[in-house]
Structures are given as structure tokens and as C-alpha cells.
Structure 1
Amino acid sequence: MRTTVSILGCGWLGTALGRSLLRKGWKVKGSVASTQSYNRLEVSGISAFYVKAKAQSLTVDYNSFFNTDVLIISIPPTRTDCVEDSYPKKIEQVIAKVEELNIKKVLFISSTSVYESKNAEVKEGDEGTPEKASGRALLKAEKLLLDNPAFQTTVIRFGGLIGYDRNPARFVQGKNTPVFDAPVNLIHRDDCINIITQIIEKNIWGEVFNASSPEHPGRNEFYAKAAKISDMPIPVFSKDKGSYKVINSDKLIEALDFKFAYQSPMDYLKEVEEWAYRI
């Protein structure tokens, strides 16, 4: 029997995930919140729906979007969400629809920003008080989902997303202050898609997983090389690490018997170099 998956938020990750699941023979529904994105999604082959989550309401063109075996929530907080603390309220609106239509499995895409920078390695359970408002908003949203007994939720906390058209050299262009030499916590989109797919296939629910490449080169090494091979200005770097954290993904690796295609973010820079060379 084919699995039906609905992806709430088909952006850069969600659309690529949907295409991958389609190739595996799954039925995939995807949501967007603008007409332009709707047209783009239709062309991809994913069944397109309009869903817009607000703090006080959830606008849905067709409830059939929520007729699914698994709901993947991939809508990150915006700056407005964080300032007004409205993001958890948006998730509450989604939860109400999940309960109404009796969805039993939810996969929530979160971020490693939920961790406090403790200048040390962090595992699931080491959250502390995140410095960023987005991290605090995500942590509240995670709790709302995980604590709800009406359905099972698994949370994936991804590191910074890289791959394909996301050239990391652009992340540090135009910096007016030196870039701290903290360890990087990054993950390639291909690994993200494989992790999500395996969690669904292996029916792993009620868990929280960190997901970041196991190796963590320093920002100086990583971004200097990215800028050099992309023929971009190399930013000024500091020897100081600043405040940082190192994301430990051992729980995920053990639970899924998972092998990262990109053990280190440096592996992706080989592709960036090849791409730059071809151009």
C-alpha cells in the first residue's frame, strides 16, 4: 500500500523531498502560501494546495490536504513570529486541524537553534535557553506537538542546510565584523531527505533527533575555502571561537543505522569547486 505524505511548507527542502518521495511511488501533497509558489509546485508533479498558517487562523483551500498518513511540518519561524511569539500559536492552529482530521503521525522539521551555545557538544536534552528568538519559538512548538496524545510526533533538528544552489561562500559576504572560528553545524539536503524518508519507512515516532554532519570543521577553514573556490572575497576571520555549540547526531545514527553521504561539510565544497570550474 502506498504511503500518502502531506508536506506543509514546500520550500527549498520540502519541494525536493516531495519529488524524491514521488520517485519512490508515494502519493505526495504539498502546500504553499502564495500563488507564485503554487504554480511552481504544480509543475513539480506534487499535488499542490494552498495553506496559510497564522497565529489566529489556518486558511486551507481543500481539507483533503490533511487526508494523509503522515504530515510533515516544514514551516520555519519568521522574524515576526519570533518577536510576537506567534509561531507556537501557528502550530496550535495546525494541531487543531491534525486533531480534527485524525492524523496519527507528524514529523516536525526543527533546527539546532533550539540549543544554547554552551561552548561544548550538545545532545538531545541539552537545550538550555536558546539565544535566538527563533530557537525559543521552535522549542515551544516542539513541546506542543510532542506533548499531544492524539498523535505521534518525531522532531528532527537539522543543522544549517547546504547543497545545490546554496553556495556557503555567500553566507559570509559583506560581514562588517570578523567571522568567529566556531565549529560549523551543517547538513546537506540529500542527507536531510534520506533521514526523513528512513524515519517514515522505519516507522520511528515519538523521538527527537539531531541531524548534522558528524564532522565540524572550523568556520575559518570552511568559509575561506568556499570563498576561494567561488572567486569571492575572503572575509576577515577571528581566531576567537566566540559562543558556539557542536551538534552530536549519534542518537540518529544509531537509531537509523544511518550513514551520512556528507560526513563533513568540506565534502560538499568539492562539488562547489567542480561546479565553479564548469562555469
Structure 2
Amino acid sequence: MRSVSIVGLGWFGYPLARDLRNLGWEVKGSKRTHEGAEQMRLNRLEAYPLELTPEINADPDDLTALLSVEALVINVPPSEYFFDLNNYVGSIQNLVNEALLCGVGHIVFISSTSVFPECEGVYSEDTPPQPTTEVGKALLAIENWLFGLEDVDVDIIRFGGLIGDDRHPVHSLAGKQDISGGNTPVNLVHIEDCSRAIQLLLEIPAYHRLYHLVAPKHPSRNEYYCGAAQKLGLEIPHFICRAEDPQRIIRADKICRELDFVYQYPDPKAFVQREENFPPSEFE
């Protein structure tokens, strides 16, 4: 049986674990707290507490069990709430080095399109990243370090803004007035497409690869968020739309060309299908 561990069983990591388990993988994972790990166990998922500070804080036997797998998915985004960004790079490096000592042969690192600036342009995997935020700089440092590793398969996948049936960023915008950038396109991706992409990468490792994952269609922020608010019965936000709003597009068709990946949610406007009161999202 193929085996994988997911470090970071959060909003995306836990559904990914369930999907992989349903496909026949032996799946393990980690949470930052003992309580979180216990909750995962109650959901019939083998889980262990692990915290990066940047040292690895975990019981040695638990760490060995967690990393005794063929593949490791690192789903730990940098965040000022949980990390000193100066230590983030060291945290991931420590984790990967420990995984390599345990014989893990395939690393999948979930990065972000924030490695690119919020400027006009079309950004593909061939575009040299020029991050302008500390988060983007930290992610790029990890990417570069990972691709310097030898004798291990490494996949880096940069997600756009994550959307799911139970999480939508329009909740943080509902009713707001005079929001800038109304003509700027969105670069979003559905959580189910993210899960399917990770499954595909795990199925066919091939040394070092880099992919973006963003829905192919890019409606404007004004069109998208106002439409989403109307569907969800929320107060419609008001955007300021200017001709000079930057047209920033993340291209993400390389994975389709190389791995025959097909987006099940190619149009972000189709992400919102039901009139429900979803909880607010941390994603924008």
C-alpha cells in the first residue's frame, strides 16, 4: 500500500487526507496540538502532534511513525499568527531534513502565487518570481532550497486563492464600500481541484516539478464578488473600477499540458452554487 503523511491537517489538509485514504493510500498526518491530533484520530485518521518553532517539537516515536512513509505533503503556509517569518524557512528545512533521514522519497510542498507581485502581467511557471511581501519571500526561499536537493522527488505547487463550498472570501467583503481594484481579475482555485492535483503528483513522481493551480477563467473582482454576494444573499459590496486597475493573471495550464489534468471548476463564478451562510474565509 502506498503511504503518505500530510503535515498540516487543516481546512485543506484534512479533506486531502480523506480523499487519498478513499483512493487506497495509507495516510497519516499532523496537527499543531495534542487536542487537534486527538480530534483527527476520532475521525479515524492516524495523526500526531507536531509543532515547528523552527525546531521540531514532537515525541521522537511519534515523529518516526509520522515520517515512515513514501511521500510527504507539506501544507504549512507561513502566517504571522503562528510563525515568526524569519524562522519559517528554517522550520520547513528542519522538517524536510528529518523526513529525508527517515527515507521519505517524495516531497510535495504547497506554495502560493504570492511569490509574484501584485502588478500588471501574465505570470507562468517560467516567469521569474519577484515577491514583494515577506510571505512571498519566505515561500520562494523554500522553493529554491527544495529544488537544490538531490536524490529526492520534489513537487512544488503554487495555489491561487482557495475557495470551497464552506468557505468564501465574499463574507469579508459583503457590504463594504469603495473597494479598490474592481477591474482587477481574480486568481482563484477550488479546493477539490487542489486535492485532485496533489493526488496526481503523488501518483507519478518525476524528480523536480513546478506547477501553478488557478482556475482558467478570471472574472473581475467586481463581477465575481458582487455576483457571489447576490447568490449567497449577502449585502453586495461596492467596488471602484478603473481602467488602470492592474490586469494580473496567473497562468496555470502547464499541469494540464504535461499531466493531462482537467479543472473540474474552470470558472470561479460556478464555485458558488447554493445559497447558504458559509463561515468567513481567511483568503482574499
The equivalences for 1:28-43 within 5 A come to: 28-43=27-42
Q: How does 1:1-279 map to 2 (within 5 A)?
A: 2-55=1-54, 57-61=55-59, 62=62, 63-79=64-80, 84-173=85-174, 175=176, 177-181=178-182, 182-240=184-242, 242-243=245-246, 245-269=248-272, 271-273=273-275, 275=276
Deviation at 1:85, TM superposition (A): 1.9
**Which sits farther off after the overlay, 113-122 or 81-90?**
81-90
Note if contact 2:153-2:206 (Cα within 8 Å) is conserved in structure 1: no
Q: Which runs of 4+ in 1 moved over 3 A?
A: 80-84, 173-177, 241-244
1:158, CA displacement in angstroms?
0.6
Question: Residue type matched to 1:14 in 2?
Answer: G
The separation in 2 between residues aligned to 1:111 and 1:76, in whole angstroms, is 8
Give distance in 1, aligned partners of 2:36 and 2:245: 38
Q: Give, in angstroms, the shift of residue 128 of structure 1.
A: 3.3
Q: Which residue identity does 1:45 align to in structure 2?
A: R
Change in Cα spacing, 1:175 to 1:87, as seen in structure 2 (3 Å) is farther
Say if 1:150 and 1:59 are closer, same or farther in 2 by CA, change over 3 A.
farther
TM-score when normalising by structure 2:
0.90
SS of structure 2 residue aligned to 1:12: coil
CA contact (8 A) 2:56 2:94 kept: yes
Distance in 1 separating the partners of 2:43 and 2:137: 34
Percentage identity across paired residues of the two chains: 30
Measured after TM superposition, the shift of residue 93 of structure 1 is 1.1
* Preserved CA contact (<8 Å) 1:114 1:127: no
Shift of 1:84: 4.3
SS of the equivalent of 1:224 reads helix
SS of the aligned residue for 1:21 comes to: helix
The Cα shift of 1:167 comes to 2.4
Query: Deviation of residue 65 (structure 1)?
Result: 0.4
What is the DSSP-based 3-state SS (H/G/I as helix, E as strand, rest coil) of the residue aligned with 1:102?
A: coil
Deviation for aligned residue 1:258: 1.2
Cα 1:116–1:11, aligned 2, differ >3 Å: closer, same or farther? same
C-alpha separation between the residues in 2 aligned to 1:27 and 1:166? 28
Residue correspondences, number = 272
CA RMSD of aligned residues (A): 1.9
Tell me the secondary structure at the aligned position of residue 187 of structure 1.
Answer: strand
Q: Give the aligned partner of residue 281 of structure 2.
A: none
Alpha carbons of 1:3 and 1:251: their partners in 2 closer, same or farther (altered >3 Å)?
same
